[in-house]
Chains A and B, each alone.
Chain A
């Protein structure tokens, strides 16, 4: 059963972009009336956000700086605590989880970060293997005791993104684009059902940004993983996402295909942000 607010969000997804009916009947991710207020902040960063995401769907989240895009992703996997609302992954209520149950749920959601968030002192292969650190014993991982099949799997993933020759290289010796590829591999190595991608190309030049976005989309499709991707660059969102969620001042102002957004609408999304939120 959906509440009326869910149905209101769902109607933005047009038939030609919609996921299969079975997938719509059982969305992978359901976000309802999500609110986040940081401690000491005068107002909510997210103000009643709600949407659903079907399995295998690739959705871009756009909006100006301070609109709440990063907070949205972090509230979904509870890196940031929601102050109200609901997040469901499959049949699990994420907002109700604590301790080990929350950690197990997080393992189903891979995250790719704007600043890569890699362990700089570690080698490329070790960083990717850390994608499964949650399901490994910490002491085994500390002494790099991984099953050979797991190492082979990580190596194959790195080879897929063109980093096969860098397995034993320290991450701090890599370029920005290469680091982000390591970040992508780490997230996918988790074998997640959902990828949360937070502005993956902001620190990269346009040519590399394009390659990185293409790799994220292709790998997500190959792995059958749904992705919710914050993108600051509207052109990239238009190029790679079938559906766009636009946030302004913590509220969804558009949820649907990019084609429905004209210049005026885009101008509204990016120009009217409350400057005190930046």
Chain B
């Protein structure tokens, strides 16, 4: 019996090794086929940086910083920040209950409710914010609202998926204790699930803000509010010095946002870490 088992295990290991080798081979072949299909000429990379440098030096330098200091443009920057803030808050508040419904180990509606929540989160993630923005502009017209809605859906898709994964990896013990005490589904979520994922949820929330803010700077490209509209107008009018100033401002804002997020995350992790050490 034992030798038969050993033989089976050896055969399984051989099959797994062969499978790994075949997978690696398929990956290499796929990469080569893609390069052939797209007709990518690798030698063109050699001149990329030279041409980019020339273009930046002749057309994008010096950036027109005066343009981005105009009150109407600054107003669009504030609008962008508010759009990102609103979409992040709304998206996170909607993503949490959706993730709870969608998680296989904690869903209060394990049948249709779980499937519907999963489809919603996957659907929101499957379509890019820019596409959502175009869809909402077609329905609602130009303005901030389609932008906020598009960003909110993007936020639900992004944060919802991560929230589901966090909930699905919790320890079942506190959930079991709450169920044993006769707690209802809401109480089980609040006291069995939420305390275990709270720190992770805050971290994901901060990261989601980063992602949403980056998207908020460009949804206006299609007329969905914010500074993106100015980027498109100046690009269409070939005002490269203004485009350069706007891109630099976006980069600076994203960096500032990420620095603040990083400090918030570090503070959070530091606090959690100290508690772990204090045990």
User: Which residues of A does B touch, CB under 8 Å?
Assistant: 77, 79, 100, 103-107, 109-111, 113, 115-122, 130-136, 138-139, 141-142, 170, 172-173, 186, 190, 196
> Would A103 and B195 be within 8 Å (CB), given that A79-B179, A117-B174, A117-B176 are in contact?
no
> In the docked arrangement, what's the CA distance between A111 and B196, Å?
21
Q: Digitize B161-183: 1 where CB-to-A-CB distance is under 8 Å, 0 elsewhere.
A: 00000000000011011111111
B278 touches A173 (CB 8 A): yes
Q: In whole Å, how far is B278's beta carbon from the nearest beta carbon of chain A?
A: 6
> Would A134 and B184 be within 8 Å (CB), given that A172-B275, A173-B279 are in contact?
yes
> In the docked arrangement, what's the CA distance between A173 and B177, Å?
20
Chain A residue at minimum C-beta to C-beta distance from B180: A111
A107 touches B181 (CB 8 A): yes
Q: Digitize B242-253: 1 where CB-to-A-CB distance is under 8 Å, 0 elsewhere.
A: 000000000000
B179 touches A142 (CB 8 A): no
Q: Digitize B184-202: 1 where CB-to-A-CB distance is under 8 Å, 0 elsewhere.
A: 1011001110011010000
Chain A residue at minimum C-beta to C-beta distance from B199: A121
A131 touches B176 (CB 8 A): no
* Residues on the B chain within 8 Å of A130, using CB: 177-178, 181, 191
> In the docked arrangement, what's the CA distance between A136 and B181, Å?
11
Q: In whole Å, how far is B173's beta carbon from the nearest beta carbon of chain A?
A: 4
Q: In whole Å, how far is B254's beta carbon from the nearest beta carbon of chain A?
A: 33
> In the docked arrangement, what's the CA distance between A168 and B53, Å?
63
* Residues on the B chain within 8 Å of A77, using CB: 180
Chain A residue at minimum C-beta to C-beta distance from B278: A173
B173 touches A107 (CB 8 A): no
Max chain A CB contacts within 10 Å: which of B173, B182, B192, B196?
B182
> In the docked arrangement, what's the CA distance between A272 and B181, Å?
35
B173 touches A190 (CB 8 A): no
A sample of 20 inter-chain contacts (CB < 8 A) reads: A106-B181, A106-B182, A107-B182, A111-B177, A111-B181, A113-B173, A115-B173, A117-B176, A119-B177, A119-B192, A121-B195, A130-B191, A131-B181, A135-B182, A141-B187, A141-B191, A142-B191, A186-B177, A186-B181, A190-B181
> In the docked arrangement, what's the CA distance between A36 and B174, Å?
23
Chain B residue at minimum C-beta to C-beta distance from A107: B182
Residue from B176, B182, B195, B279 within 8 A of A134 (CB atoms):
B182
* Residues on the B chain within 8 Å of A135, using CB: 182
Max chain A CB contacts within 10 Å: which of B178, B183, B184, B190?
B183
A134 touches B183 (CB 8 A): yes
A133 touches B198 (CB 8 A): no
Chain A residue at minimum C-beta to C-beta distance from B185: A138
* Residues on the A chain within 8 Å of B196, using CB: 121
Given pairs A111-B180, A116-B173, A136-B187, 10 additional interface contacts (CB within 8 A)? A107-B181, A107-B182, A113-B176, A118-B177, A119-B192, A122-B195, A131-B181, A134-B181, A138-B187, A141-B191
> In the docked arrangement, what's the CA distance between A132 and B178, Å?
10
B173 touches A103 (CB 8 A): no
Q: In whole Å, how far is B195's beta carbon from the nearest beta carbon of chain A?
A: 5
